[in-house]
């Protein structure tokens, strides 16, 4: 029987056909949506790529639906400007998906984990999947030799401890001195940072004896260098990986959204604690990445969180990686 593809058959007939496309584009409310990992195919929770002699594995800790983008991004802009930028980029204006992507760098000598996701506290909301992702990628927690904490927000340190014990039993830890000093300080009590202070006391302080506290320019292991990118948090750090004449940046939360933070890097973000400093860091880090044509892994970029940027009129355009690392 001949098949005729017409506008009528493509979009369906009657009420069901008329409603299908709008429901697909705007629906954010189903129970399944609250727990399933968006943006991944066939249950994929990790992506492995090669950079020189290093093996890099990006792992999804899960995703979370969030509403009202204009209350998080572009705080110094009219809400209509935020909505327009989203719709211009084929994204809904009333909600977005936030992903969380720790990364493992296997140098052959060390297995270095960057950030730990939400941990056990996130599992009811569909996050806290790091350990499962590690196992799927062929690693066990006790194989991790170094844990690097880029900064001490809860979605980066939540997985450090499980059941009151270190999740990565054989690891040593590396984090910024400025970041640790800020969050540990009892001066945070009674301020908006008090909950973060309590989380650091629970998750980070018990590991202090195994932790090396570093500053700008410090080496993590041979080939991995820390760079200060303060602003998102008081001691937020990014990291450069060099292997066999190839380089990659791990930008942590320098940019929190691939459109709203990169195309408009000067827009203020609610999550950035010092907004002016965060904007300056965003410009500095992504100017370098664009100039040197470096790939980067951004903790909140669309999974698998790997890509490039090129400059545009006001900021940068995110270019997702495809097969660059496979050939």
Question: Percent of the chain at pLDDT above 90?
Answer: 86
> pLDDT for 229-252, tens place per residue?
999 999 999 999 999 999 999 999
User: Residue written as tokens 């009590």?
Assistant: 189
Position 10 scores a pLDDT of 37
Tokens of 110: 């060390």
Name the residue with higher pLDDT: 271 or 28. Answer: 271
- CB-CB neighbours of 212 under 10 Å: 13
Q: How confident is the model at residue 44 (pLDDT cuts 50, 70, 90)?
A: low
Position 175 scores a pLDDT of 98
Position 301 scores a pLDDT of 98
Q: Is 24 left (phi over 0), alpha (psi -120 to 50) or beta?
A: alpha
Q: What is the DSSP letter of 205?
A: G
- CB-CB neighbours of 192 under 10 Å: 8
> pLDDT for 279-308, tens place per residue?
999 999 999 999 999 999 999 999 999 999
Q: How confident is the model at residue 40 (pLDDT cuts 50, 70, 90)?
A: very low
3-state secondary structure (DSSP) of residue 65? strand
> pLDDT for 189-199, tens place per residue?
999 999 999 99
User: Please, is 125 exposed, middle or buried when counting C-beta atoms within 10 Å of its C-beta (0-12, 13-18, 19+)?
Assistant: middle
The dihedral through the CA atoms of 107, 112, 115, 118 has a sign that is positive
Closest by Cα among 73, 134, 62 to 103: 134
Pairing of strands 95-100, 62-67: antiparallel
Name the residue with higher pLDDT: 34 or 93. Answer: 93
Q: How confident is the model at residue 43 (pLDDT cuts 50, 70, 90)?
A: low
Domain ranges of the chain: 46-320
Closest by Cα among 234, 222, 300, 308 to 261: 300
Q: How confident is the model at residue 327 (pLDDT cuts 50, 70, 90)?
A: confident
Position 26 scores a pLDDT of 30
Mean per-residue pLDDT for 181-192? 98
Closest by Cα among 182, 283, 199, 189 to 236: 182
Q: How confident is the model at residue 162 (pLDDT cuts 50, 70, 90)?
A: very high
Closest by Cα among 105, 89, 67 to 239: 105
Q: Is the domain defined by 46-320 classed in CATH 3.40.50.11540?
A: no
Q: For residue 147, what are the CA distances in angstroms to 91, 116, 141, 323?
A: 35, 8, 11, 28
3-state secondary structure (DSSP) of residue 17? helix
């Amino acid at each position: 029987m001949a098949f005729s593809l017409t506008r009528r058959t493509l979009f369906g007939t009657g009420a069901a056909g008329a409603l299908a496309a709008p429901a697909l584009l705007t629906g954010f409310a189903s129970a399944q949506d609250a727990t399933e990992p968006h943006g991944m195919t066939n249950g994929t929770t990790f992506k492995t790529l090669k950079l020189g002699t290093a093996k890099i594995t990006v792992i999804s800790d899960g995703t979370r639906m969030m509403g009202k983008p204009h209350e998080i991004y572009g705080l110094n802009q009219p809400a209509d400007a935020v909505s327009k930028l989203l719709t211009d980029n084929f994204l809904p204006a009333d909600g977005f998906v936030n992903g969380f992507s720790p990364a493992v760098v296997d140098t052959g000598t060390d297995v270095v984990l960057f950030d730990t996701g939400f941990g056990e506290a996130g599992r009811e909301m569909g996050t806290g999947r790091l350990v499962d992702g590690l196992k799927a990628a062929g690693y066990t927690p006790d194989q991790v030799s170094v844990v690097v904490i880029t900064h001490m927000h809860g979605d980066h340190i939540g997985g450090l401890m499980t059941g009151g014990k270190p999740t990565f039993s054989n690891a040593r830890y590396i984090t910024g001195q400025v970041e640790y000093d800020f969050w540990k300080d009892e001066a945070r009590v009674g301020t908006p940072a008090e909950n973060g202070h309590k989380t650091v006391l629970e998750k980070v302080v018990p590991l202090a004896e195994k932790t090396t506290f570093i500053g700008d320019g410090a080496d993590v292991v041979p080939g991995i260098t820390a760079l200060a990118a303060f602003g998102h948090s008081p001691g937020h750090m990014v990291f450069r990986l060099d292997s066999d004449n190839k380089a990659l940046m791990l930008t942590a939360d320098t940019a929190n959204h691939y459109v709203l933070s990169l195309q408009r890097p000067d827009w203020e973000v609610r999550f950035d604690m010092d907004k002016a400093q965060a904007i300056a860091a965003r410009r500095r880090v992504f100017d370098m990445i664009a100039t040197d044509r470096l790939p980067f892994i951004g903790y909140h970029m669309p999974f698998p969180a790997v890509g490039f940027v090129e400059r545009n009129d006001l900021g940068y355009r995110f270019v997702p990686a495809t097969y660059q690392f496979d050939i």
